[in-house]
Amino acid sequence: MPKKDIAIAGAGIIGLSAALDLALAGAQVTVFERGLAMHESSWAAAGMLAAGDPENPVELRALSTFSLGLYPDFLASIEHLSGKTIPILSTQTLQGAYSLPPNAHRLSAETLQALAPGLQEDGLKFYLLEEKCFDPRLLGDALVQAVKEAGVTLLEQTAVNSIESSAEMVHIYTTSGEFAADDFINASGAWASDLSPIPITPRKGQLLLACHPHLYADQHLTAAVRTPHLYLIPRAEQHVLIGATVEDAGFDKLVDPAIIQSLHEKAADLWPPARDAQVVDAWSGLRPASPDSLPVIGSLAPHHWLALGHFRNGILLAPGTARLLRQLILKERLSVDLHHFAPGRFNPKHA
Ligand SMILES: Cc1cc2nc3c(=O)[nH]c(=O)nc-3n(C[C@H](O)[C@H](O)[C@H](O)COP(=O)(O)OP(=O)(O)OC[C@H]3O[C@@H](n4cnc5c(N)ncnc54)[C@H](O)[C@@H]3O)c2cc1C
């Protein structure tokens, strides 16, 4: 069988993970990236694999579990191809909730204080999740290298302007000329509606990195802490990541010092040692969101595929989404029922 030619718009974690899976399955893949690879939402993320976050919609459960299960092989394959290591920064999360989910065991005050000395429960009940977290920028560096090693052509500074699909193939019009492919995947994040008739909007997240060099080792967080309002994630060398807002601010990525200060204060109310920590960095990113906050995975037109709207969980969901796209495009059996993620759900004509 001749090699399939696949074109992808967007070199965030969704586009690059799909590129890697398809290339390893034997496809010839080209990724078009308007700016630099892994420099938008995927760069801004906190890096939690938050499959157990009680704030996640229930419809996400099967896809989250599937994607999480693929993570060890996904990371191993990226590390093998790139020769780079992706360190795991924390392996446990203290999840706070106003009511405990079934089967969750509330942590005793002693256990809580051992993992997060000083933590204020403030009406919340905390339980433990085995959940990994890593730095998405280190993952990004390694993933870019890995896709190149796997034979993917990555064209940065090349925007897709429009596409035309016919029964046989797709024409892709870019700022570097016209290309043809057997299949096209729109993985262009918060900007996806420019290329496909799907209502994806940006939801801004601001977060900050703080450093507290004067804490004794036994006063540090040894697990991430997450509540319905914010999270704190221990990072190397006495740093802690504090996030994140969810804002409807269009495509504005400006960091607002007042909002950063307010996040810092809320974090210090929850974990008082954060009060003396110095803010060393703050940034923002645009999460791609659909109207029902669920991803969009599938097609609306022949050979025109969509991998969009991963909102707060794109890092978690990347390997699962990539595998499902591969299964759709190569006509393999699907591992997850995709009806919750059908592109046609926003347009009755296509439903
Ligand atoms: C503050 C914050 C914290 C987060 N924390 C987490 C977390 O802890 N865990 C988690 O799982 N998720 C997290 N997320 C969500 C996660 O970052 C996103 O869901 C994920 O990065 C989306 O990936 P993407 O590839 O779809 O989009 P992006 O990473 O934004 O990539 C889209 C790419 O498409 C390119 N592009 C756009 N238009 C075109 C075009 N016309 N032609 C070519 N290229 C184009 C863009 O330049 C961009 O590089 C967080 C997000 C934010 C903002």
For the record, the structure tokens of 140 come out as: 């990004």
Residue 177's pLDDT is: 96
Q: Which CATH architecture has domain 89-132+202-288?
A: 2-Layer Sandwich (3.30)
| Contact 244 CB / ligand 1 (< 6 Å) | yes
Distance 289 CA to ligand 1 centre (A): 10
pLDDT of 233 above 80: yes
DSSP assigned state of 56: S
| Contact 163 CB / ligand 1 (< 6 Å) | no
For 274-301, what is the mean pLDDT?
96
Residue 351's pLDDT is: 47
pLDDT of 211 above 60: yes
Q: Which amino acid is at 150?
A: A
Residue 81's pLDDT is: 98
| Contact 45 CB / ligand 1 (< 6 Å) | yes
Which residue CA neighbors atom 1 of ligand 1 most closely?
205
What is the band of 143 on the pLDDT scale with cuts at 50, 70, 90?
very high
| Contact 12 CB / ligand 1 (< 6 Å) | yes
Q: What is the CATH number of domain 5-84+136-200+291-346?
A: 3.50.50.60
Decide if 60 contacts 50 (C-beta within 8 A).
Answer: no
Q: Which amino acid is at 321?
A: T
Distance 189 CA to ligand 1 centre (A): 5
Would you call 18 helix, strand, or coil by DSSP? helix
| Contact 315 CB / ligand 1 (< 6 Å) | yes
Distance 288 CA to ligand 1 centre (A): 7
What pTM did the predictor assign?
A: 0.97
Measured between alpha carbons, how far is 28 from 232 in angstroms, rounded to an integer? 41
What is the band of 2 on the pLDDT scale with cuts at 50, 70, 90?
low
Measured between alpha carbons, how far is 226 from 266 in angstroms, rounded to an integer? 12
Mean pLDDT of the chain: 95
Which helix (H) or strand (E) segment holds residue 63: the answer is: helix 61-82
For 300-312, what is the mean pLDDT?
96
Residue 67's pLDDT is: 98
From residue 20, give the alpha-carbon distance in Å to each of 35, 83, 173, 244, 322.
19, 15, 23, 29, 8
Spatial CB neighbours of 277, under 8 Å, sequence gap ≥ 6: 210, 211, 212, 240, 264
pLDDT of 349 above 70: no
Chain segment 33-80, per-residue pLDDT in tens = 999 999 999 999 999 999 999 999 999 999 999 999 999 999 999 999
pLDDT of 276 above 50: yes
Chain segment 126-135, per-residue pLDDT in tens = 999 999 999 9
pLDDT of 114 above 60: yes
Percent of the chain at pLDDT > 90 equals: 90
Percent of the chain at pLDDT > 70 equals: 97
Spatial CB neighbours of 40, under 8 Å, sequence gap ≥ 6: 12, 189, 190, 285, 286
For 230-252, what is the mean pLDDT?
94
Measured between alpha carbons, how far is 312 from 48 in angstroms, rounded to an integer? 10
Sequence ranges of the domains in the chain: 5-84+136-200+291-346, 89-132+202-288
For the record, the structure tokens of 74 come out as: 């996904």
- Closest ligand 1 atom to the C-alpha of 39? 49
pLDDT of 217 above 90: no
Measured between alpha carbons, how far is 45 from 149 in angstroms, rounded to an integer? 25
pLDDT of 94 above 90: yes
pLDDT of 287 above 60: yes
| Contact 340 CB / ligand 1 (< 6 Å) | no
For the record, the structure tokens of 335 come out as: 């591992």
| Contact 224 CB / ligand 1 (< 6 Å) | no
